[in-house]
Copies of this chain bind each other. A is one copy, B any other.
Amino acid sequence: MTDDPTPIPADGRPHVVVVGAGFGGLACAKTLARAPGGGGVRVTVIDRNNYHLFVPLLYQVATAALSPADIATPIRSILSRYPNVDVILGAVEGVDTAARRVRLAGGRAVPYDRLVLATGSVYSYFGHDDWPHVAPALKTVENARHIRTRLLSALEEAEMCDDADRRAALMTVVIVGGGPTGVEMAGAVAELTRFTLARDFRRIDPRAARVLLVEAGPRILSAFPEHLAAYARRKLEALGVTVMTGQAVERIDATGVTVGGRAIPAATVVWGAGVAASPAGRWLGVDTDRAGRIRVAPDLSVPGVPGVYALGDTAAAADDAGKPLPGLAQVAKQQGEHLGRALALNLTAGTAPAPFRFRNRGNTAIIGRNAAIFDFGHRTLKGWFAWVLWAIVHVYLLVGGEKRLSVTLRWLWRYATYERGARLITESPPSDVAEVTTQDNSRRRA
């Protein structure tokens, strides 16, 4: 290691490097730091952002209900109480598995004894390289802010527009992908135009805005039981959303989308369809599944690469029945906690890491005011009570008391008044989604 110009100085303690401060990476780092004997382990968390982002609520930033700071917490402040945990703001460019070093942009190298890859997933545009620019996805703060600006600017332009066709395009929002993100975004856009903005314009009626949810599969919310998906569809349609299933998007450009051979002029298109793993598999040069996820052993180690582990959306893991684990925050979080405990024991007492077992805490999606669904496997829940439970669970999962208080307050205020406080048109260019590696494991929620 002496040939490296700027190695991170090491001490006698074993060093665990965690790449990605999403749900999985943070859980792993905190568990390691708190574990009995964990103080004897040095932990370094690397992320390209200085904050942990609560991605499941990003659609509320895009629809002006919350501010980025409501759902993003500085990684340093989350981990400041653990003296053996270090944070590096940096972009990983590769892993030198033979020398056990992580290469960062800028030439720095971080040596490790154990490496945990928790780099999450990105949206996939199925090879359409021009689509990210016209149809941003809900994955980064910058993109959410950009979608908000695009939505609100289109209505402002419509208010001043004398051409009926152009006005119709400006008042059309197309959401691609009928998974939980697409459903929640469609519901939130519909509520924004139907209620919040209803009386704010003089020439256009925002309630007449068209909101289309386009899903290529036979139904929306394919991960949920059929009766919950049917309930969600009814609720969306009651809000005025046009749900189009069994129809793939063939073209997206600045004028709109083409679905089933029919052109739909639209000023705002939001992408929520395909998901692919971050490039961690390429860093290692190992076998991945079709979505780019690293095939891991039951203990989450990467076969053939000693000392390296992967979890969350970065890893292709299976449950006891051999069924692939879904891309949910709770999976990443449980894997992170498991790996934190296992690595602490391994490094301080030499114990072999135990296999990971997933405990399903239930899957949920929200459609809008008073309407959400829960699937606990053995039972399901929908309607007002599910909606209250959704809100409580999400406030509880936020990091930090200030955020919990602030989001609770905003939601109560919005429930009472229909107002949305973050209706700001500010410039923030869309990040190039194809290049973005979101280092968190938060595709879906707990």
Question: Which positions in A face B, CB cutoff 8 Å?
Answer: 6, 49-51, 67-70, 72-74, 76-77, 80-81, 86-90, 108, 141-142, 145, 152, 156, 159-160, 162, 197, 199-202, 400-403, 405-406, 409-410, 413, 417, 419, 421-429, 431
Out of B73, B76, B156, B421, name the residue touching A89 (CB < 8 Å).
B156
Q: Is there an interface contact between A69 and B422, defined as CB atoms closer than 8 Å?
A: yes
A424 proximity list for chain B (CB < 8 A)? 50-51, 68-69, 72, 74, 141
Q: Is there an interface contact between B409 and A405, defined as CB atoms closer than 8 Å?
A: yes
Known A-B contacts A6-B162, A50-B152, A426-B141; the reply to A413 vs B421 at CB < 8 A is: no
Some 6 contacts from A to B, beta carbons below 8 A apart, are A69-B422, A69-B424, A87-B200, A88-B160, A142-B426, A400-B421
Instruction: Report the minimum CB–CB distance from A205 to chain B (whole Å).
Output: 13
A77 proximity list for chain B (CB < 8 A)? 200, 419, 423
A419 proximity list for chain B (CB < 8 A)? 77, 400, 402
Instruction: Report the minimum CB–CB distance from A101 to chain B (whole Å).
Output: 16
Q: Is there an interface contact between A201 and B76, defined as CB atoms closer than 8 Å?
A: yes
Closest to A5 in B: B162
A sample of 11 more A-B contacts (CB under 8 A), given A77-B419, A401-B413, is A50-B423, A67-B69, A72-B424, A74-B423, A89-B159, A90-B160, A141-B426, A405-B409, A406-B409, A406-B410, A427-B428
Instruction: Report the minimum CB–CB distance from A46 to chain B (whole Å).
Output: 11
Closest to A86 in B: B202
Q: Which of A72, A76, A86, A419: most chain B CB closer than 10 A? A: A76
State A410–B152 Cα separation when bound (angstroms).
Answer: 27
A73 proximity list for chain B (CB < 8 A)? 421
Closest to A199 in B: B80
State A402–B420 Cα separation when bound (angstroms).
Answer: 9
Out of B51, B81, B429, name the residue touching A423 (CB < 8 Å).
B51
Q: Is there an interface contact between A403 and B426, defined as CB atoms closer than 8 Å?
A: no
Instruction: Report the minimum CB–CB distance from A164 to chain B (whole Å).
Output: 15
A410 proximity list for chain B (CB < 8 A)? 402, 406
State A400–B423 Cα separation when bound (angstroms).
Answer: 13
> Top 7 nearest A-B pairs by Cβ distance?
A69-B422, A76-B200, A67-B67, A89-B156, A74-B423, A67-B69, A50-B425
A74 proximity list for chain B (CB < 8 A)? 200, 423-424
Closest to A196 in B: B77
Instruction: Report the minimum CB–CB distance from A359 to chain B (whole Å).
Output: 32
Instruction: Report the minimum CB–CB distance from A415 to chain B (whole Å).
Output: 12
Q: Is there an interface contact between A200 and B80, defined as CB atoms closer than 8 Å?
A: yes
Q: Is there an interface contact between B425 and A428, defined as CB atoms closer than 8 Å?
A: no
Out of B90, B202, B403, name the residue touching A421 (CB < 8 Å).
B403
A89 proximity list for chain B (CB < 8 A)? 156, 159-160, 425
Instruction: Report the minimum CB–CB distance from A409 to chain B (whole Å).
Output: 6
State A162–B406 Cα separation when bound (angstroms).
Answer: 39
State A47–B91 Cα separation when bound (angstroms).
Answer: 40
Instruction: Report the minimum CB–CB distance from A123 to chain B (whole Å).
Output: 19
Instruction: Report the minimum CB–CB distance from A385 to chain B (whole Å).
Output: 26
Closest to A426 in B: B141
Instruction: Report the minimum CB–CB distance from A83 to chain B (whole Å).
Output: 8
A400 proximity list for chain B (CB < 8 A)? 419, 421
Closest to A89 in B: B156
Q: Is there an interface contact between A160 and B426, defined as CB atoms closer than 8 Å?
A: no
A72 proximity list for chain B (CB < 8 A)? 424
Closest to A88 in B: B160
Instruction: Report the minimum CB–CB distance from A41 to chain B (whole Å).
Output: 15
Known A-B contacts A152-B50, A200-B76, A426-B141; the reply to A69 vs B421 at CB < 8 A is: yes
